[in-house]
Amino acid sequence: MPSTTIDADARLLDDLLTRLHPLLIDYYATSQRDETPVVPPMCPEQLGERLQLELPEEGSGTEGALNVVQQVLKYSVQSLNPRFMDKLYAGSNPIGIVSELLIALLNTNSHVYHVSPVFTLMEMEVTKAVGQLLGMGKTSGGILCPGGSSSNQLAMITARNKMFPSIKTQGYLPRPYNPQAEYGKLKIFTSSHGHYSIDKTALALGLGTDNVIKVAVDDHGRMDALALDRAIADCLERDETPFFINATAGTTVLGTFDPIRAISAVAKKYGCWLHVDGSWGGSAIFSSSRQKTQLDGSELADTFTLNPHKLLGVPLQCSLLITPHDGHLLFSASNSLNAGYLFHGNPYDLGDGTVGCGRRPDALKLYLGWIFYGRQGYERRIEHAYAMAAYLTSLVRSKAKDGFKLVMDPSPFMQICFWYTPPSQRERLCALDPTCDGTSIKDTIAPGTNAAYNDVLTRITQSIHRQINESGEYLVDYAPLSGHPSFFRVVVNAPTVQERHLDRLMAMIERIGQETDWDAVVIGPPGSGKTTYCYGMYQFMNAIGRKCSIVNLDPANENLPYPCAVNIFDLITLEDAMESLQLGPNGAMIYCMEFLKKNMDWLVDKLKALGDEYILFDFPGQVELFTHHSSVKELIDELQKLNYRLVAVHLVDAHYCLDPSKYISVLLISLKTMIQLELPHVNILSKVDLMESYGKLAFNLEYYTEVMDLDYLQQQLDEDPINKRYKQLNKALCELIEDFSLVGFYTLAVEDKKSMMNVLQVIDKAGGYIFGGLTEELLGWLNELLQINYTKVEQVGTGAAYCQILDSIYGDVPMKKVKFEARHDYEYVGNYKILQTAFDRHRVDKIIPVERLMKCKFQDNLEFLQWFRRYWDQYYPGGDYDAVARRHGSGISAGGPKAPTGAPRSMAGAPVRKSDAGLWPNLFYIRALITAAGRAQSRSGMTSGRLSSASGNVHMDPHKNNMIVELNEQLAQARVTLDGLEKERDFYFGKLRDIEILVQQQLDKEETEDPHTQILKDIQNILYSTEASCVLYSIAGDALTITVSGPKIVELAPTEDNDKDKVDEGEAADADDASTFAAAENAQYWVALMKVDWSIACLNFEGVFAELSLAYTTPNLKFIKMDLDINPQLESQLSISTGATSLDLPTVILFEREKGELARLPPPATQDRSTDRPTMTDVTHNARETLQRLGWDRSPRSVIQAFALEKRYAETISSKKKR
């Protein structure tokens, strides 16, 4: 319960403030940084789930309150951030925060003087001072209201009661309803660009919104005084009574200022009350120069509204209503009632002049800020905002040829309004409006065009606006204007806004505008729920504000529950194809897809009408269309050429998980579809909400979504007599799926909003939507800064670029040690160690996720590079930076993975396997232990529930439980040991690399007579002839390790008879059937050992051959497959063991060439590439040449197709001693 003593409350307050202090200070400091998001992008459902706003029965005290404070700070919009440019206010300032704390501490109601004497006098003083700045004289003063709308409302109430006091008691009874009334229908006049609060007040007072006359504006958006005069004259002719004119100083949309002096003349002519709504622009009075121009005539107003919480940074809310007529006494005289229990006739009782009772002492906030900054301090803030507005205006004007157009030129105030037309839409817009020239108009608002033009440009603006705000990087607004398409409205009144923030915003708008559309290809077998998904996602996306349309491309789907924007039925139907061509359903379906492909013009014309809407392409359910036939793939290719960014959403009914054979079939179909379509891919288990009705799963659902160890399914398959007959086939299929390691699933229940949001986020992530096209901007910045030519974000994963970005800021990163040509994991690690050292030196509080970055994955490196860009923006000292000189002219390797030929470019939802290639030999055994322990845990079903039986039928005896505990302990110890060994490995790799560089630098000098040269060569031989020599070859984007037995190239002795045609009376080995081997005279051999754990997978030797052909002179290069059972003499010659405990297979591959010194070829010539590494095109071309030269065919018997390697098992092994 609350404390009952003051001392206890004081101690509690001290404790709360002490614990809140670091939270608040950290928030204030970090919220203004460039890397801080303005708002965490989250829908209301997600936010509600995060906040957990349910109110408890019992309080949780300090901890509960602090937790709420942290949540509020974490998930609220960062109005302090300079990139908060959405509304007409910005973040507060330190003195403003103190003033709010003081108000809360005193908890004063400022309605009568005797309970708030200090605040009452402050309010009188501050309103009088503002009145004098307005030029209203010594009798001016006013009162504070809770916001500008309340001030406008009180102004109209006061004007009505002052001019027509009978209304206070008798009510509103105008002529002609009351012929004796002194007034007719009361009429209100305001600009057509005026604030809606005028209409709201007419509504609240019972005057009716029909009696609010919207006066036309001129070409500059200002109220036309002549039009006002005519409107009032017309009212008088109808025996109506004009009584209230509202002029605006800073309209909400355009920021225009009505001509107050000219309007005042009209008001005096007809005896009307002149009110000026200066909620937004009124604070310009603190700038002496602006007050004389934009606020000229403000002293003539009867009432004037001004909101310091907008332009001056005073905390919300703080609104002043100022009058020259006896200050606050005007309001008391016009609005007071006989409330003797509260008001006792004291002229200092300010609450008597309002229509309410309770009043916050908001005057303190302006008063304290004025004391702290002074009028000149406020003036400097205002002038800075004007300067930023002028800069953004000029920036937009300079980009007229790039599709930008100012709504007003020059921008009248501190919100800059403009349109932007992306390049892809300009032809379309010009077709709608031939007068569109794409240039900025001068001085006036752009003329309105036809409705179709306005609609398209409005949707473009809304789409870009949505993507900007959803990114969280900026928060801006868009606004409509009658007769014109909606446009961007950017407010720059925050004192922390700098030119760089505006440059980045403009670049972001262009980048998003140039992005392709975001759409989904919905596929899946019949009954998977594609139609239900399309309808559900259509409803969900439109509900959250993302316009969505559905295109039905299934010619057999007649009963569509969803509204169909484009329907293939208008072109062809399955029934028509079957009847006219006498085809069966499958053949007719394929024909329909081919027919659609031939009539792409029809589809393109239909799609144009959808603009930038998110499109769901609902495809047929015939599986072979996505796994074997090319028609759908060709359709997708055509759509991609039209700049449609597509994500494949593959739906599978969750009930297939109940049958292991069907589940494996689903995995195979999913895998083949991913490879066939070559799209970013999301696999979904649909109808998970119906799983209970299907039956019980053998394992936890996570087992099926993560596609865990398929050995368990094989055990289940063996229990079925029929499936058991195909045990080897089942094993091979499972191995194939695991070898690719691409398939994974997300779950979906269409009626669950949370499930739909999760799936939508995954799809957005797969297609790159959530990155808002950030890639191009970051790469452009990086290439310009470092003078390189990266084309993919993945290329920065080597760590070299990160090092040089930091060097551009501080200039002290040892760039000589940074390896831009890094190809090996240990070289990557070396770069990141340099980066971490530099981070530590400059106290950069940022964790470097080395493991994730080294994988060269897009998302991880994009996020880290984005953070680096923000850090660079904040700390870059400026000036020129010679990147090439700093890295001593070192070349830039392309780095990063290359997309495997025939493999999907991006696979969402697939568990990622880490490559163990290149690890030290002893790590193999530790990893084996971890794997064994992990499998034991998985099989037990007791490790975090990942494989626990859904049916509850698994029971473990105590002995097995003890074994699990022991394995857990071994696993934990092994992980610790592994971490230590990896650190040790990284350390020594770095040392050896330094030695290698020093040796190579000396040898490059070519001082052949130097007596130390031979010693250096011997050292180099030692470095290159370690216990396990590994050569890494880049094949299809993956690191493939070929183990060379021994420190040098193996020389095999020729056979005694020197007859290459016969070996031990056996036939000679040919290219396709090299089962026997005879060592050739005058030849050398490279030996590659096949390992037990290697298996046939997606990689083959073609890349190895090509790499060798590219790298070395190979005029007589031969590749021979040998079986050691037939050639046992090779065991001793090659130091190979084929015993029961050996890790070697009884098979080796020899690479044979002419004897003599190896000659390294120069790097292959490349065009417009920053790397000396061969591209996949080079590799393929050279591989073909090698095969042709050797006379090999492409038959299944070919060595190329007979063997393949899998990177994750490619471990180096020690040289074996000869037996």
Q: What is the pLDDT of residues 454-512, one digit of tens each?
A: 877 887 888 889 888 888 889 999 998 888 889 999 999 999 999 999 999 999 998 88
pLDDT given for residue 723 in this prediction: 77
State what percent of residues in the chain have pLDDT above 70: 69
Of 189-193, 307-311, 425-429, the least confident: 425-429
What ranges do the domains of the chain cover? 109-167+183-339+347-360, 385-513, 515-767, 777-886, 1028-1209
What gap in Å lies between CA 823 and CA 798, rounded to an integer? 8
Contact 96, 314 (CB under 8 A): yes
How would residue 1194 be classed by pLDDT, with cut points 50, 70 and 90? very low
Region 440-453: what's the mean pLDDT?
52
pLDDT at residue 975, as a whole number: 63
> What's the confidence (pLDDT) of residue 1029?
31
Phi, psi of 215 (to 5 degrees): -80, 140
Closest-CA residue to 247 (of 186, 190, 285) = 190
pLDDT at 328: 85
Report, as an integer, the average pLDDT of 699-705. Answer: 85
Least confident of 340-349, 405-414, 783-792: 340-349
Half-sphere CA count of 1113, side-chain side, radius 13 A: 7
Residue 533: which pLDDT band, with cuts at 50, 70 and 90? very high
**Whether residue 167 has pLDDT greater than 50:** yes
183-230 pLDDT per residue, tens: 999 999 999 999 999 999 999 999 999 999 999 999 889 999 999 999
Nearest to 461 by CA among 338, 261, 611: 611
- Residue 536's SS3 state is helix
Q: Which of 665-669, 691-695, 726-730 has the highest mean pLDDT?
A: 665-669
Condensed to tens digits (0 to 9), the pLDDT of residues 1118-1151 reads 444 444 555 565 555 555 554 443 333 334 444 4
Nearest alpha-carbon partner for 778 in 842, 872, 846: 872
Instruction: Please report, rounded to a whole number, the percentage of residues in the chain having pLDDT higher than 90.
Output: 35
Tell whether the model's pLDDT for residue 1175 goes beyond 60.
no
Report whether 619 contacts 550 (CB < 8 A).
no
Of 900 and 238, the one with more pLDDT: 238
Whether pLDDT at 1090 is above 90: no
Q: Report how far residue 457's alpha carbon sits from residue 405's, in angstroms, rounded to the nearest whole number.
A: 12
pTM over 0.85: no
Burial (Cβ within 10 Å: 0-12, 13-18, ≥19) of residue 73: middle
Beta carbons within 8 Å of 535's beta carbon, 6+ residues apart = 550, 561, 562
Q: Do domains 109-167+183-339+347-360 and 385-513 have the same CATH topology?
A: no
Give the pLDDT confidence of 780-807 residue by residue, as tens digits: 888 889 988 887 787 898 999 999 999 9
Of 229, 236, 230, residue with least CA distance to 268: 229
pLDDT of residue 704: 86
Task: Output the pLDDT for position 432.
Answer: 67
Tell me: pLDDT of 558 over 90: no
d(CA 488, CA 478): 4
Residues 750-776: what's their mean pLDDT?
74
What is residue 856's predicted lDDT score, i.e. its pLDDT? 77
CATH number listed for the domain at residues 385-513: 3.90.1150.170
Residue 18 burial (10 A CB sphere; 0-12, 13-18, 19+): exposed
pLDDT class of 648 with cuts at 50, 70, 90: very high
Residue-level pLDDT at 132: 94
Strands 1038-1044 and 1029-1035, bridge-based pairing: antiparallel
The mean per-residue pLDDT over the stretch 162-177 comes to 92
**Would you say residue 104 has pLDDT above 50?**
yes
> Does the pLDDT value for residue 323 go beyond 50?
yes
> Which range, 1023-1027, 1069-1073, 1191-1195, has the best average confidence (pLDDT)?
1023-1027
- For residues 1050 and 775, which has the higher predicted lDDT (pLDDT)? 775
How high is the pLDDT of residue 272? 97
Q: Which residue has the tokens 């061969």?
A: 1174
Across the range 860-879, mean pLDDT stands at: 83
Which CATH code fits 515-767? 3.40.50.300
1045, pLDDT greater than 90:
no
Tell me the CA distances in angstroms from 1079 to 386, 564, 969, one per residue in order: 85, 71, 51
Among 20-24, 658-662, 726-730, 1009-1013, the range scoring the smallest mean pLDDT is 1009-1013
Strands (E), 272-344: 273-278, 303-306, 319-323
Q: Which of 232-236, 367-371, 554-558 has the lowest average pLDDT?
A: 554-558
Determine whether 1060 is exposed, middle or buried from the number of CB atoms within 10 Å of its CB (0-12, 13-18, 19+).
middle
CA dihedral sign of residues 971, 974, 976, 982:
negative
For the ranges 634-643, 773-782, 948-957, which has the lowest average pLDDT? 948-957
Name the 3-class secondary structure at 1189. helix
pLDDT higher than threshold 70 for residue 339 = no
Quote the CA–CA distance of 20 and 61 in Å, as a whole number: 14
Between 353 and 449, residue with greater pLDDT: 353
1174 pLDDT band, cuts 50/70/90, is: very low
pLDDT category at 1027 given cuts 50, 70, 90 is very low
Instruction: For the chain, give the mean pLDDT.
Output: 75
Q: Out of 287-291, 722-726, 981-985, pick the least confident.
A: 981-985
**Mean pLDDT of all residues in 915-943:** 35
DSSP state of 442: S
Look at 1181 and 791; give whichever has higher pLDDT.
791
Q: How confident is the model at residue 1157 (pLDDT cuts 50, 70, 90)?
A: very low
Q: Which range among 284-298, 1059-1073, 1199-1213 has the greatest average pLDDT?
A: 284-298
Q: Confidence band (pLDDT; 50, 70, 90) for 159?
A: very high
* Longest CA pairwise span in the chain (Å): 137
Average pLDDT over residues 1015-1020: 70
- The third-level CATH classification (topology) of the domain covering 777-886 is Actin-binding Protein, T-fimbrin; domain 1 (1.10.418)
Give the pLDDT confidence score for residue 680 in this predicted structure: 84
Torsion of CA 393, 397, 400, 404, to 10 degrees: 10
Q: What's the CATH number for 109-167+183-339+347-360?
A: 3.40.640.10
Does the pLDDT value for residue 927 go beyond 80? no
pLDDT value at residue 445: 44
- Could you tell me if 1067 and 1120 are in contact, meaning their C-beta atoms sit under 8 angstroms apart? no
Report the run of H or E that residue 420 belongs to, with start and end: strand 415-420
Whole-number pLDDT of residue 1054: 38
Is it the case that residue 653 has pLDDT exceeding 60? yes
Residue with the larger pLDDT of the pair 1149 and 90: 90
More confident call, 996 vs 260: 260
